[in-house]
Structure 1
Amino acid sequence: MTEPAEVRKAIAAAIIVHEGRVLLVRRKVKEGSLSWQFPAGEVEDGEASTAAAVRETREETGLEVKDISVLGERVHPNTGRTMVYVACQVVSGTAAVVDDDELAEVAWSDGNQITDYVPYPFYGPVQAHLDASLSR
């Protein structure tokens, strides 16, 4: 009998638009390279993906947010991980690097600057949300 393949936990990403700009984090990844992305992390056992997006944002940046809606879910083409994208709204606080083991920097980007941080296309529903929400 074949052992079942290890099931990797889904990743919840928080898409946080505030005052016409979106929050991006510069993540420390292996080999010392840096990558800009949304605050995100694994969904814990028994946790809703929306709750994971809120928790990860707080743990990584100290920003308190609330989930508004799930924008979509897909298997990420580069990582093979299930991604759940959650639109969130700022409740309180100021975004900063709180988890300095994982993050190098945080930034708020408007629609004109976002390709300076992330030069590749976003998942369609995320892009549509950003197009409707960001200042240009």
Structure 2
Amino acid sequence: MEIQQVTSAGVAAAVVVQDGRVLLIRRRVPEGVLVWQFPAGKVEDGETAEQAAVRETLEETGLTVKAIKLLGERVHPKTGRLMSYTAAEVIEGEARVADDEELDAVAWVAHSEIKDYVPYGLFEPVQEYLDGALPREA
């Protein structure tokens, strides 16, 4: 009898920055208090978190992005899911609702607006990355 290893591949999120703003998406069906979030989805067999973040961004928003670096992983305090966060940059495309079964809006959000979209705060390594990557309005 073979022993199966149980692994939860988790969910990979892309933190996409372009022109001084970060990309957020709004799901048709919110996950509790999670209304606006980063493009994200389940990591598939044989995929790295970075590859999943790139793929999910393309599937959800039509943007082709390139992974820059893995920002961190955690068990999400609101969903209990294993999450990984990957910084990514846009290679080509315009952000839009590419998967209208899952999403109903996309937004490019300035640093000063993040708390309006995500009032409960961001994962600290993600916030630190955005603090450095996004200009702050005077």
Matched residues in 2 for 1:30 and 1:109: separation?
19
Aligned amino acid, residue 135 of structure 1: P
In structure 2, the residue matched to 1:90 is 90
Matched residues in 2 for 1:104 and 1:114: separation?
19
Aligned identity (percent) is: 58
Matched residues in 1 for 2:121 and 2:30: separation?
23
Q: Return the offset for 1:8.
A: 3.8
In structure 2, the residue matched to 1:65 is 65
TM-score (norm 1): 0.90
Matched residues in 2 for 1:34 and 1:128: separation?
20
Q: Return the offset for 1:7.
A: 4.8
Matched residues in 1 for 2:130 and 2:30: separation?
29
Aligned length: 133
Matched residues in 1 for 2:21 and 2:62: separation?
17
In structure 1, the residue matched to 2:15 is 15
- Is the contact between residue 28 and residue 34 of structure 1 (CA under 8 Å) also seen in structure 2? no
In structure 2, the residue matched to 1:51 is 51
Question: Which string of whole-angstrom CA distances, capped at 9 and with x for unpartnered residues, describes residues 9-65 of structure 1?
Answer: 31000000111100000112269x871000000000111110000000000000000
In structure 2, the residue matched to 1:122 is 122
In structure 1, the residue matched to 2:133 is 133
TM-score (norm 2): 0.89
4+ runs deviating over 6 angstroms: none
Question: Which string of whole-angstrom CA distances, capped at 9 and with x for unpartnered residues, describes residues 113-132 of structure 1?
Answer: 11111111111100000111
In structure 2, the residue matched to 1:39 is 39
In structure 1, the residue matched to 2:111 is 111
Matched residues in 2 for 1:38 and 1:98: separation?
14
Unaligned runs of 5+ in 1: none
Query: Once structures 1 and 2 are overlaid, which stretch shifts more, 113-122 or 123-132?
Result: 113-122
